[in-house]
A and B are shown apart, each in its own frame.
Chain A
Amino acid sequence: MSNRRIIPSPSVSSASQVGAPAGPDGGSKLKATLGLLRQVRFSARDQMALLLMIGLLGAGSLLSDVFLTPRNLLNILWAVSVLGIVAVGQTVLLVTGNFDMSVSMVVPFAGIVCVGLQIAGGGLWSSMLAGLLAAMLVGLLNGVIVVMTRANPFLITFGTQTLVYAVALILTEARTWYATIPAFNVLGRGTFFGVLHYSVAIFLGLAILVQFFLRRTPYGRYLYVLGLNEEAGRLSGVLVNRVKVLAFTFCGFTAGLAGLIMTSRLNSTRASGAQGMDFDSIIAVVLGGTSLFGGSGGTLRTVVGVMVLGILNNVMVLAGVPYDAQWIAKGLVFVLVVWADRFFRRDK
């Protein structure tokens, strides 16, 4: 319930009213049952990703005995955690009705800055900080350009994506760079008690933290206002531009964090290291149920969306689907989910 739009649309509230215990005189059980059914229907359309996940889990358990073991599920979480961290930042942006396509190149770029500094003799912490700052700088740049020109964020960040890629290629001369500080590996490969990877913990922790931030703090609320009605936000005193720039910068930050984890996991980085992550992160967010048009959703939903993508991948590998066909599956799922989202919204 906590994941609902902050300004409930009429039918949402009516659904919950009907679902609530029937009125004093209405006492008929039929009405209550109908209301309950309606509410279930509402939740079903609201929680499509959860249903999809359960379905995929069922399919996976049919395909293989080892699929539904905690170990495999943790492995899936580990595999998607980098994407998940990016998706958390992307969620914050999508809530405001913006996108960041540059993440797919910012992720390796943060690694390149970090490893480059290590090669040049920098320390562990300073190199990691530099990587994060570089990523945040790109986010800031995206935000400033979008705010100043009111241009389509999609194309602007597509442009910065190419720009960052070019800069990364120039810096690395299109070679793979290897990290030089052994302790750097801990970030991507270390675990709590040999069970829970740090990266998974960071992903889930960040998702919970950001969800709390979105729901319970003024700034979090502003983000929804931006997505719902920017003009109304401006008129009621929200510093619209500043909030938007901060959202872009935060998205850059998560991309940088993901980049550091990915680099540390592979112990290396190259300019094209995260190709497709732009699209994947947006799919994950939308799969989770955050609207493409802003104003709704949250990061806990994104966790489910990311898990669906991970499980889908795992199931397809188990089913022996050729690797390249996964693009088709992801594209189809994406189109279907967006279409269903539109369909149900029109229905309301």
Chain B
Amino acid sequence: MGRESFAERLWGVLAKHTIIIVLVGLIIVFAVACPQVFLSGENIQNVARQISFDVIAAFGELVCLIAAGVDLSVGSTLAMAAALTMGLQGYGVGVAVGAALAMGLVVGAFNGLLVTKGRIVPFIATLGSMEIVYGAMLTYTGQRPIPGRSEWFASIGNGSVGPVPLPTVIMLVLLGTFHVLLNYTRFGRNMYAAGGNPEAARLAGVQVDRYRFWAFVLSGFCAALSGVLLASRLNSATIHMGLQTPLFVIAACIMGGASMLSGRGTAVGAALGVLALTILSNGMDLLGIFTYYQMAIRAIILIFVVAVDAFYVSTVHKRLATASAIGAKRAERRSIPRQQC
């Protein structure tokens, strides 16, 4: 790969490490702009709590992105899970949470079936289920907010373990789980294989469709879990929950190194992506920037991130793909069985 032009190499380096550069940059900017508040313990706790919900949803989205799909229904699933958690509390908290999580699994399985059995493109399939679940949520709630009844349940989202907020602890546990799952298990490696080059993965004996199915199920589950925790944090469910979630988590995942177009991305990267976007809005809040301007800035960031990702993939990645195709041919000549599973 000695023939990469300087621009391409720069893209490559940036695409690998952008998220850290962006994070450090943001922290420096806001630490200088509002030093007392931004770096105060209270604000850090606040941000840590705030990111937990989005990071959990982002993990699900990440798995989907890795297995070469996208799940747009995460926002609706999140809102529906919150509504069920609050609405069914009359039957006991356990039942309510169980129903919400089961709903997430069902939505995920529905998406997975549409994509694998129905052969519908992921973003169209999940666009459909997004509308269906959104409609179900509106019908169920009657467009009214549902208040919580259980003090105990509210303490999950609002509680702390020492200085660390409880949702953050849950998020960190999930971070570890997903990190290990994706990096150190066959399941994870096959996920990457199924997304990166489905045809090659199929020839190597990976059941691509099965992994894509489970990616959607995981995504549905994570979104529902995020909804349950968010409902506990706010101790209510509103119809406005999750409206921005799909875009937010997709942008975060891509900032963290995932791609719309190939099986890339890491759990740590996704978490850092959410952290960067949250710090941005937190900092803008502290600086007193009006909500609508924040919205515009976030939209521009999304467009920028998606555009850079696509540009990177269409230039550098194509060359890499050619190189790996040549490599594959050589390997074929040597005829060494590369993967057994």
Contacts and interface: CB of A to CB of B under 8 A. Distances in A.
B310 interface: yes
B298 interface: yes
Interface string A146-173: 0011111011101111110111011000
B303 interface: yes
Contacts of A279: 127, 131
10 contacts: A151-B309, A155-B302, A156-B306, A166-B295, A324-B139, A324-B143, A325-B135, A331-B130, A335-B129, A343-B118
B120 interface: yes
Contacts of A158: 247, 302
Contact of A155 (B127, B128, B139, B260): B260
Nearest to A278: B127
Given A335-B125, A335-B128, A338-B124, 20 more contacts: A145-B303, A150-B314, A151-B260, A151-B309, A154-B123, A159-B302, A162-B296, A162-B299, A163-B303, A166-B293, A166-B299, A327-B131, A329-B135, A331-B128, A332-B128, A334-B127, A334-B128, A339-B118, A342-B119, A343-B118
Contacts, number: 124
Interface of B: 114, 118-121, 123-125, 127-132, 134-136, 138-139, 142-143, 247, 250, 260-261, 290, 292-293, 295-296, 298-300, 302-303, 306-311, 314
A338 B120 contact: yes
Given A163-B296, A330-B131, A332-B132, A151 B124 contact: no
Contact of A150 (B120, B127, B293, B311): B311
A169 B119 CA distance: 39
A30 interface: no
B292 A166 contact: yes
Nearest to A161: B299
A10 interface: no
A156 B123 CA distance: 13
Contacts of B306: 149, 151-152, 155-156, 159
A8 B143 CA distance: 48
A327 B307 CA distance: 31
The 7 closest A-B pairs by CB, nearest first: A327-B135, A151-B310, A331-B131, A331-B132, A324-B138, A328-B135, A166-B296
A307 interface: no
Nearest to B246: A158
A194 interface: no
A346 interface: yes
A331 B135 contact: yes
B302 A338 contact: no
Contacts of B139: 322, 324-325, 328
Contacts of A161: 299
Contacts of B260: 151-152, 155
Nearest to A141: B303
A152 B118 contact: no
A160 B128 contact: no
Given A165-B295, A169-B292, A339-B120, A327 B310 contact: no
Nearest to A152: B260
A150 B125 CA distance: 22
A326 interface: yes
A292 interface: yes
B61 to A, nearest CB: 13
B132 A328 contact: yes
Interface in A298-348: 322, 324-332, 334-335, 338-339, 342-343, 346
Contacts of B311: 149-151
Interface residues of A, number: 41
Contact of A169 (B121, B134, B295): B295
A346 B202 CA distance: 20
Given A150-B310, A155-B260, A342-B119, A327 B132 contact: yes
Contacts of A339: 114, 118, 120
B93 to A, nearest CB: 26
A342 B292 CA distance: 40
Contact of B114 (A166, A327, A335): A335
Contacts of A166: 292-293, 295-296, 299
- The listed residue with most B CB atoms (<10 A of its CB), out of A331, A334, A339, is A331
A167 B120 CA distance: 34
B132 A152 contact: no
A152 B130 CA distance: 19
B259 to A, nearest CB: 10
Contacts of B261: 152
B68 to A, nearest CB: 12
A159 B128 CA distance: 19
Nearest to A157: B303
A316 B318 CA distance: 50
Nearest to B303: A159
B51 to A, nearest CB: 20
A167 B290 CA distance: 12
Nearest to B140: A324
Nearest to B301: A159
Nearest to A293: B121
A328 B303 contact: no
A179 B124 CA distance: 37
Contacts of B310: 149-152
Given A152-B306, A159-B299, A166-B295, A326 B121 contact: no
Given A331-B128, A338-B124, A324 B135 contact: yes
